[in-house]
């Protein structure tokens, strides 16, 4: 064993000991300091900058490309490129940290009949005598059959090995009074006495960025508990493609990613159980929804082929596994069901959205858009479903935007232009950056007043329309890399300088909204649907719920339908996972959804590229 090298992270003063060669981003992650890493540790985005006050190695070429000589002299380095070879003291500035995004933590009310796959049954078994020498197993199985008839279409009830092992003592502990816990045709636990009303299940929505867990009692009416965490896999890259690359190219990469997400789920279960005052082993079932890559990583399935033409998932169908086999720390025989996928880039989370919004079962023409780290679009026409995925998300989540950030404290969340620019900042603190909704606001407002033209070009100060108010006009500034619009002056920010929008930022937004809008347009074309036909446009996902509908229409992110037809449906992916947890009927419906929803591959499709080019432009006012 090599001896660990000490690394101290400031300002927390947290210390870790790591093997020589470990990167700083990994070292920090191990003690819970999560650094921003949109590029997945390739050294290209520059977002993981740290200042090494002791033990700084010579700068790499990548360090030199990102930082000035002064900065390098002060010890500024890319955490993803710096390998620990000697003792270090490292300062992590707040801009380099990955902040938790604000998510709606309240559970959506689910209108489904409680008929879970896992259920408890109490039995007073007959005690054996010399005249009735039936085995313990027969006593239990007979009682089950008598009470419930043959379950699950004629498959006989089976006893889990661990149940048979517990059976002799369990039945005799309380005079042959026992509670059996059944998952479909299998008895997965048996406990002495009557323990009904204490059987729980947990539903997870594993987002690329945020993981939400919801705990429900499956055999009694009890409040749903909710907890959320940042997906700790962000330290291996912000988007699915970076994570796939990590899984593919790093030694133990896939294992790291799996252990990382399982650890996160276990943390969430711990919090949920504490809130509910129960033991982890009372959780007998889990349903896991996530995009296709998240599901592959959770199950430790190589996701490489998702990111490589022809973009094929390895797993489509829903999987039922034992919790113990996945390292999920709930009852070891608990069943873990992963929602089925539709395609490589449209996964179980979209299936859950379709379930929660009832798209498969409803008549009429409806569109659902789930903007997370990716943007998935589903169009339903009288129960026929088509879906696609677009790379819409990253810009809305702050990636590739100069001052972009997630919707966390310090993020500008609203921009209104009157005589001047008015801002609202999350947490009511000085601003740190722009989040998705304020990016849309800012561009929408600048479009409205004419600072930006239809093509997305920012007008030179001298070419601005007369109607632009003087204070607004004064915010257009020239810099080396082109024009910028000052949103917040240094005295309004916590970063020691102004926050502004560059011409490149506007182009990024155009790309993101163009991709999403082109996806919508392509699906509508596939189904022969015009915007005016849309009876509802459903916005799902953490980001979707903070958007301003009028601005989203103004920039052309959403089709031009009357605003009242645009509806927020909350964390529909999480809601769908919960529905599949508590309802056997929903569990069957998700498999159907995953099979009947037709995936439309946008890559290499000429009409998509045309639609994309067109959707890059902003609509005529």
H/E segment holding residue 138: helix 136-148
Q: Which is nearer to its own copies, 7 or 313 (CB)?
A: 313
- List of residues 6+ apart from 564 with CB closer than 8 A: none
Q: Which is nearer to its own copies, 233 or 333 (CB)?
A: 333
Q: Which is nearer to its own copies, 129 or 428 (CB)?
A: 129
Spatial distance between the Cα atoms of 596 and 614, rounded to a whole number of angstroms: 30
Spatial distance between the Cα atoms of 62 and 79, rounded to a whole number of angstroms: 11
Least distance CB 269 / its own copies (angstroms): 20
Burial class (CB in 10 A: 0-12, 13-18, 19+), 229: middle
Taking the alpha carbons of 600, 604, 610, 616 in that order, is the dihedral positive or negative? positive
Q: Which is nearer to its own copies, 93 or 156 (CB)?
A: 156
Cβ-contact 202, 269 below 8 angstroms: yes
Least distance CB 588 / its own copies (angstroms): 11
Least distance CB 511 / its own copies (angstroms): 23
Alpha helices, DSSP H, located in 450-502: 470-473
Taking the alpha carbons of 232, 233, 237, 238 in that order, is the dihedral positive or negative? negative
Distance of CA 266 to the CA centre of its chain: 17
Q: Which is nearer to its own copies, 71 or 591 (CB)?
A: 591
What are the φ and ψ backbone dihedral angles of 195, each rounded to 5 degrees? Answer: -115, 20
Spatial distance between the Cα atoms of 430 and 453, rounded to a whole number of angstroms: 30
Diameter of the chain measured on Cα atoms: 104
- List of residues 6+ apart from 511 with CB closer than 8 A: 395, 616
Cβ-contact 74, 54 below 8 angstroms: no
Q: Which is nearer to its own copies, 140 or 577 (CB)?
A: 140
Q: Hey, which residues does 97 pair with through a beta bridge?
A: 35
Least distance CB 337 / its own copies (angstroms): 12
Least distance CB 557 / its own copies (angstroms): 27
Q: What are the angstrom distances between the C-alpha of 614 and each of 386, 434, 521?
A: 22, 26, 10
Cβ-contact 286, 228 below 8 angstroms: no
Q: Which is nearer to its own copies, 21 or 168 (CB)?
A: 168
- List of residues 6+ apart from 136 with CB closer than 8 A: 167, 168, 171
Count of alpha carbons within 13 Å of 369, Cβ hemisphere only?
Answer: 32
Q: Which is nearer to its own copies, 341 or 493 (CB)?
A: 341
What is the bridge-based pairing of β-strands 335-338 and 200-206?
unpaired
Least distance CB 570 / its own copies (angstroms): 29
Spatial distance between the Cα atoms of 491 and 27, rounded to a whole number of angstroms: 35
Q: Which is nearer to its own copies, 1 or 130 (CB)?
A: 130
* Residue 126 three-state SS: coil
Q: Which is nearer to its own copies, 327 or 482 (CB)?
A: 327
Tokens 């257009």 belong to 476
Spatial distance between the Cα atoms of 510 and 519, rounded to a whole number of angstroms: 14
Q: Which is nearer to its own copies, 40 or 318 (CB)?
A: 318
Least distance CB 237 / its own copies (angstroms): 20
Burial class (CB in 10 A: 0-12, 13-18, 19+), 221: exposed
Q: Which is nearer to its own copies, 10 or 248 (CB)?
A: 248
Q: Which is nearer to its own copies, 73 or 126 (CB)?
A: 126
Least distance CB 523 / its own copies (angstroms): 16
List of E strands, 21-62: 49-54
Write out the residues near its own copies by the rule CB under 8 A.
128-130, 132-138, 141, 153-155, 158-159, 161, 164-165, 167-169, 172, 299-302, 304-305, 309-317, 319-321, 325-326, 341, 343-344, 599, 601, 603-604
Spatial distance between the Cα atoms of 224 and 574, rounded to a whole number of angstroms: 12
* Residue 269 three-state SS: helix
């Amino acid at each position: 064993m090599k001896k660990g090298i000490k690394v101290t992270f400031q300002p927390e003063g947290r210390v870790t000991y790591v093997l020589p060669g470990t990167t700083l981003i990994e070292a920090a992650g191990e003690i819970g300091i999560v650094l921003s890493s949109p590029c997945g540790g390739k050294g290209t985005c520059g977002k993981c900058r740290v200042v090494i006050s002791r033990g700084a190695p010579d700068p790499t070429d990548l360090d030199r490309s990102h930082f000035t000589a002064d900065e390098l002299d002060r010890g500024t380095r890319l955490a993803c490129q710096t390998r620990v070879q000697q003792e270090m003291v490292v300062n992590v500035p707040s801009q380099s940290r990955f902040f938790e995004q604000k998510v709606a933590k309240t559970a959506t009310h689910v209108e489904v009949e409680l008929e879970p796959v896992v259920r408890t049954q109490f039995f007073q078994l007959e005690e054996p005598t010399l005249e009735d020498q039936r085995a313990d197993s027969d006593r239990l199985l007979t009682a089950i059959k008598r009470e419930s008839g043959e379950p699950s279409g004629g498959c006989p009830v089976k006893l889990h090995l661990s149940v048979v092992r517990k059976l002799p003592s369990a039945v005799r502990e309380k005079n042959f009074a026992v509670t059996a816990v059944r998952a479909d045709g299998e008895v997965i636990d048996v406990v002495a006495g009557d323990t009904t009303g204490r059987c729980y299940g947990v539903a997870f929505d594993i987002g690329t960025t945020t993981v939400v867990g919801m705990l429900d009692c499956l055999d009694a009416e009890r409040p749903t508990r909710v907890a959320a965490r940042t997906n700790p896999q962000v330290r291996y890259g912000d988007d699915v493609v970076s994570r796939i690359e990590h899984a593919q190219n790093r030694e133990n990469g896939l294992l790291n990613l799996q252990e990382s997400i399982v650890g996160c789920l276990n943390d969430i279960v711990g919090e949920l159980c504490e809130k509910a005052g129960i033991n982890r082993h009372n959780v007998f079932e889990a349903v896991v929804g996530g995009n296709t890559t998240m599901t592959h990583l959770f199950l430790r399935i190589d996701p490489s082929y998702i990111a490589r033409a022809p973009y094929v998932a390895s797993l489509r169908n829903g999987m039922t596994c034992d919790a113990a086999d996945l390292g999920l720390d709930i009852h070891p025989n608990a069943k873990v069901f992963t929602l089925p996928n539709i395609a490589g880039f449209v996964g179980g989370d979209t299936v859950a959205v379709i379930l929660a919004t009832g798209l498969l079962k409803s008549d009429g023409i409806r569109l659902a858009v789930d903007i997370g780290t990716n943007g998935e679009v589903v169009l339903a026409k009288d129960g026929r479903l088509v879906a696609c995925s677009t790379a819409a998300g990253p810009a809305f989540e702050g990636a590739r935007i100069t001052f972009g950030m997630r919707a966390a404290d310090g993020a500008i969340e609203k921009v209104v232009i009157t005589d001047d620019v008015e801002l609202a900042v999350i947490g009511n603190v000085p601003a740190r950056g722009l989040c998705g909704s304020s990016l849309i606001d800012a561009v929408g407002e600048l479009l409205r007043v004419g600072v930006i033209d239809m093509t997305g070009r920012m007008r030179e100060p001298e070419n601005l329309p007369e109607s632009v108010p003087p204070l607004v006009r004064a915010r257009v500034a020239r810099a080396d890399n082109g024009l910028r619009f000052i949103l917040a002056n240094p005295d309004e920010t916590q970063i020691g300088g102004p926050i502004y929008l560059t011409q490149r930022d506007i182009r990024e937004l155009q790309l993101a909204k163009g991709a999403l809008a082109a996806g919508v347009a392509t699906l509508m074309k596939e189904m022969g649907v015009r915007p005016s036909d849309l009876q509802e446009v459903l916005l799902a996902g953490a980001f979707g719920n903070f958007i301003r509908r009028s601005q989203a229409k103004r920039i052309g992110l959403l089709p031009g339908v009357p605003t009242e037809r645009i509806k927020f449906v909350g964390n529909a992916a999480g809601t769908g996972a919960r529905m599949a947890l508590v309802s056997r009927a929903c569990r069957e419906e998700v498999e159907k959804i995953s099979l009947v929803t037709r995936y439309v591959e946008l890559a290499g499709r000429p009409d998509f590229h045309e639609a994309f080019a067109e959707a890059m432009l902003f609509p005529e006012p």
